[in-house]
C-alpha cells in the first residue's frame, strides 16, 4: 500500500480499484527501474520499483508509480 497525498493505492493487488476521480483501474505489472542504482539499506540490496496500472473504463490509458528503496512514493508517470 502506498499513499500519495490523500489517495491510497494497493500495490500487488489484482482486483480493480477506483481512482479519486471515479475511474476504475487495475495493476498490470511491476518492474525494477534499471536507470536507478541498487543501494544497500542495512544488510539488504534495494531498488526503485515501478508499478504499472491500466484504467478499465472506455477512456482507457495507463499510469505508473515509482517506489524508492525505502518503499516510499517517488514519482508518478502518466
Q: According to the model, what pLDDT value does residue 28 have?
A: 94
- Tens digit of each residue's pLDDT (9 = 90 or more) over 23-59: 999 999 999 999 999 999 999 999 999 999 999 999 9
Q: Measured between alpha carbons, how far is 51 from 34 in angstroms, rounded to an integer?
A: 13
pLDDT of the residue at 70: 95
Q: Return all residues near 17 (Cβ < 8 A) that are at least 6 apart.
A: 9, 10, 24, 25, 26
Question: pTM above 0.85?
Answer: yes
Amino acid at each position: 500500500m502506498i499513499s500519495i497525498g490523500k489517495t491510497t493505492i494497493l500495490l500487488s493487488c489484482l482486483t480493480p480499484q477506483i481512482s479519486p476521480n471515479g475511474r476504475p483501474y487495475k495493476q498490470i505489472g511491476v518492474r525494477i527501474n534499471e536507470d536507478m542504482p541498487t543501494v544497500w539499506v542495512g544488510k539488504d540490496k534495494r531498488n526503485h520499483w515501478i508499478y504499472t496500472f491500466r484504467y478499465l473504463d472506455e477512456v482507457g490509458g495507463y499510469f505508473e508509480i515509482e517506489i524508492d528503496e525505502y518503499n516510499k512514493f517517488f514519482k508518478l508517470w502518466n
